[in-house]
């Protein structure tokens, strides 16, 4: 623990801790153009694992991947009035290309509703073509004046799903399916981040949406992070882009569309939901490296034992790497701690003389001595145990820091260190403004049982408020 002051302590300065850990764990760097981000191999490996988990569930839900252009004619964005209003201050515009000034400038996509709407109109003929379920993995650009790596960057990576349906009900059900069976499932089961599910109040909806669902996670400083959103777009985009289908009676009818997205912001959420003063803690199911075998010293029989453990872990389907005994053991240990690898297997000559190695859990620092051949036998269960406990720990922390309150004044007080939950009936425009003045925002509206309402007009809704990223 001699190296723990490598990072700013969380309690002292949480944003400082975040910046330190992103740099020291070699997750990302600032790009040369303001607000852009370089995702380094370790950060990208985590993103690839998140992608794989989300992508598999999206495919399971029946959507197909496709790819739409980066450049969008400026005129497209103005077809849906709220959409252009929502995005125009954030747009990056290409005015010069191929050696000359463009006759019509093109916008770098901030999201692809408009261009996808255009092609849906072309591809959808009859009710037989519905639902049309599309997803794309892409980069998008929203110019950012106060960037923070992973959390807010001028360019970010994401997936955006876009679907068209014959009925309002089918569209709403599909958005709900994605929100719970894709996003919330990955957050809970893989990222080990418990969430509050709900809908955004009208003012906070996506530009052009009639309803926006959100997954809100609590970070270790008690602030909220919006981790994924799913939108019912009603007929707003189908009206703007003429997305009609011929129904079974042979009449032209407007489609109902949805869109839903999750981004590299999830990496930031992962860092802030689990990390501690020694660095990242990556949940085992997500971790690109689940076990690191650390040779204490560079000696022949130490290396042999390490290789044997590595081979047996790989055979057991565990993602393991070997850190050969070059350079300071303490320094290497600190680096692996900062990177948040779930289990460390420390292999030293003294332990080996007794026929054992030391296995250490990153989150609890609990150590256990195991015979060499027991490492691969026990690692899968240890990893699964750590996965559950990380989730349970995060859920307990969240629940301990979420208070039911009876007034906006109390809500603001509670939101200094956690989440406040109060009746939505108590929050009018002036109350919302009062909270916003204190940087406290409405994170979501939910039913008393925690389920997702279909509209903000339902009776007896609760609202969760917090400071947020």
Binding site for a copy of itself (CB under 8 A): 29, 31-33, 36-41, 44-45, 47-48, 64-73, 76, 88-99, 105-106, 108, 115, 118-119, 122, 134, 138-139, 141, 143-145, 154-155, 157
Whether the CB-CB separation of 283 and 166 falls below 8 Å is answered with: no
CB of 155 to a copy of itself, least distance (A): 5
Structure token digits, residue 365: 């620092």
Nearer to a copy of itself, 62 or 355 (CB): 62
CA angle 413, 416, 422 (to 5 degrees): 50
CB of 345 to a copy of itself, least distance (A): 22
> What is the torsional sign of CA 294, 297, 298, 302?
negative
- CA distances (Å), 121 to each of 28, 69, 166, in order? 39, 16, 13
Distance CA 433, CA 38 (A): 37
Nearer to a copy of itself, 115 or 281 (CB): 115
Closest CA to 174 of 126, 127, 232: 232
CB of 116 to a copy of itself, least distance (A): 9
Nearer to a copy of itself, 61 or 352 (CB): 61
**Residue whose structure tokens are 């009818």:** 253
Distance CA 175, CA 308 (A): 48
CB of 13 to a copy of itself, least distance (A): 25
**453: which DSSP letter?**
P
CB of 35 to a copy of itself, least distance (A): 9
Nearer to a copy of itself, 120 or 333 (CB): 120
Structure token digits, residue 137: 């993995």
Structure token digits, residue 394: 């995060």
Whether the CB-CB separation of 153 and 37 falls below 8 Å is answered with: yes
In 3-state terms, what secondary structure has residue 461? coil
CB of 157 to a copy of itself, least distance (A): 7
Nearer to a copy of itself, 265 or 421 (CB): 265
Which stretches within 88-145 are classed as H helix? 113-123
Nearer to a copy of itself, 58 or 197 (CB): 58
CB of 136 to a copy of itself, least distance (A): 8
**395: which DSSP letter?**
H
Nearer to a copy of itself, 55 or 410 (CB): 55
Nearer to a copy of itself, 242 or 434 (CB): 242
Structure token digits, residue 421: 């939950």
Distance CA 71, CA 115 (A): 9
In 3-state terms, what secondary structure has residue 253? strand
Whether the CB-CB separation of 24 and 338 falls below 8 Å is answered with: yes
CB of 65 to a copy of itself, least distance (A): 5
Distance CA 314, CA 336 (A): 19
Nearer to a copy of itself, 97 or 311 (CB): 97
Closest CA to 399 of 183, 189, 196: 196
CB of 97 to a copy of itself, least distance (A): 4
């Amino acid at each position: 623990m001699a190296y723990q002051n490598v990072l700013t302590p969380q309690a002292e300065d949480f944003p400082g801790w975040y910046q330190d850990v992103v740099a020291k764990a070699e997750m990302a760097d600032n790009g040369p153009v303001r607000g852009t981000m370089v995702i380094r191999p370790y950060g990208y490996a985590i993103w690839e694992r998140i992608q794989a988990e989300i992508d598999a569930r999206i495919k399971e839900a029946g959507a197909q991947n496709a790819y739409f252009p980066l450049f969008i004619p400026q005129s497209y964005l103005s077809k849906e009035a709220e959409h252009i209003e929502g995005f125009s201050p954030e747009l990056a515009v290409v005015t010069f290309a191929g050696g000359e000034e463009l006759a019509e400038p093109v916008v770098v996509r901030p999201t692809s509703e408009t261009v996808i709407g255009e092609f849906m109109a072309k591809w959808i003929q009859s009710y037989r073509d519905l639902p049309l379920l599309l997803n794309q993995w892409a980069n998008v650009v929203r110019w950012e004046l106060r960037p923070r790596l992973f959390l807010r960057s001028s360019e970010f990576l994401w997936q955006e799903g876009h679907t068209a349906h014959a009925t309002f009900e089918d569209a709403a059900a599909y958005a709900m399916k994605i929100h719970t069976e894709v996003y919330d499932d990955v957050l809970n089961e893989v990222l080990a981040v418990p969430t509050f599910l709900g809908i955004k109040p009208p003012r906070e909806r996506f530009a052009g949406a009639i309803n926006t669902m959100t997954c809100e996670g609590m970070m270790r400083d008690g602030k909220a992070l919006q981790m994924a959103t799913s939108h019912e777009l009603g007929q707003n985009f189908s009206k703007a882009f003429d997305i009609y289908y011929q129904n079974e009676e042979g009449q032209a009818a407007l489609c109902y569309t949805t869109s839903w997205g999750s981004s590299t912001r999830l990496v930031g959420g992962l860092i802030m939901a689990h990390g501690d003063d020694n660095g990242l803690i990556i949940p085992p199911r997500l971790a690109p490296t689940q076990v690191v075998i650390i040779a204490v010293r560079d000696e022949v029989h130490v290396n042999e034992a390490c290789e044997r453990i590595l081979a047996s872990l790989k055979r057991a389907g565990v993602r393991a790497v070997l850190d050969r005994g070059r350079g300071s053991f303490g320094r290497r240990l600190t680096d692996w701690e900062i990177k948040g690898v779930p289990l460390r297997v420390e292999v030293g000559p003294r332990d080996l003389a007794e026929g054992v190695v030391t296995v250490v859990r990153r989150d609890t620092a609990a150590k256990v001595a195991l015979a060499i051949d027991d490492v691969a036998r026990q690692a899968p269960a240890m990893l699964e145990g750590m996965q559950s406990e990380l989730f349970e720990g995060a859920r307990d922390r969240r629940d301990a820091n979420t208070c039911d309150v009876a007034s906006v004044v109390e809500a603001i007080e509670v939101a200094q260190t956690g989440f406040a939950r109060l009746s939505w009936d108590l929050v009018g425009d002036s109350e919302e403004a009062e909270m916003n003045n204190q940087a406290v925002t409405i994170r979501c509206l939910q039913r008393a049982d925690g389920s997702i309402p279909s509209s903000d007009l339902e009776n007896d809704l609760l609202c969760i408020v917090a400071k947020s990223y």
